[in-house]
Copies of this chain bind each other. A is one copy, B any other.
Amino acid sequence: MQLGRHISGQFNVELESIRTHVLAMGGLVEEQISLALHALYKHDSQLASKVNRNDHKVNQMEMAIDEACTRIIAKRQPTAKDLRLIMAIIKTITDLERIGDVATKIGYVAQEQFSPKQESMIVLVESFGRMAVHMLHQVLDAFARMDVQAAAKVYHMDDELDAEYKKVLRQMMDFMMEEPSSVPKIMQIVSCAQAIERVGDRCQNICEYIIYFVKGKDVRHDPEYLQSLLDE
């Protein structure tokens, strides 16, 4: 009994440690995106290259957490809610790593030169990017508290992000039509906007994993259930 308690106590310590690492990884990814947007906005190519150099830290964190999850499954043979937590974490870190790649993408574009007129499109993307950072911040907060209702709320924030993306894209297309010689440059900014739009999709994935962990229900492709959570 004492041993059982000891093992389970140790198991909880290990699980908690993994969860802490996920939150640290999320914090780093959020910082990376935020710094990349700042570098883009301020034409700070030094900051941009620092962001790109730091991407390996995100990658290493993903690999370390993945390994810790596999180890804990093999050693502790978790079931039920403990196993769901590990599954949710394994999937969450994949999405976080890909969000980290978005920072790198923005970092590269931040090192390019743009004309003053083209800069107006950068301003648009930067403000769009801030919306995505906010969404990421909220989903990490929901993850830290494993809060289903918060997750459902963040999930629906993606509608605003999508609407804003359409507006931003429309303005970039107008720009390219008015000034066709800018097409290659604007296309670089478009690629940042697209990557930011996908950050929203990845945040939605993380919301689904939070709900899966807490409710034991796989809510992917189940918009009605997700809507019902908002009214709970």
Q: Which residues of A are interface residues toward B (Cβ below 8 A)?
A: 56, 59, 62-63, 66-67, 70, 73-74, 77-80, 83-84, 87, 90-91, 94, 169, 173, 176-178, 180-181, 183-184, 187, 190-191, 194, 218, 220-221
Say how far A75's CB is from chain B's closest CB, in angstroms.
8
Q: Which of B67, B73, B94, B178 contacts A94 (CB 8 A)?
A: B94
Q: Is B70 in contact with A74, judged by CB distance below 8 angstroms?
A: no
Hey, which chain B residues are within 8 Å of A91, CB to CB? 90, 94
Q: Contacts A73-B83, A74-B83; is A67 near B218 (CB within 8 Å)?
A: yes
**Top 9 A-B residue pairs of the complex, sorted by shortest distance between their CB atoms:** A77-B77, A74-B79, A180-B180, A177-B180, A59-B221, A176-B183, A177-B183, A173-B183, A63-B218
Cα distance A61–B221 in the bound complex, in angstroms: 12
Selected A-B contacts with CB under 8 Å, 16 pairs: A56-B221, A59-B221, A63-B218, A70-B83, A70-B87, A73-B73, A74-B78, A74-B83, A77-B77, A90-B90, A91-B94, A94-B94, A173-B187, A177-B183, A180-B180, A183-B183
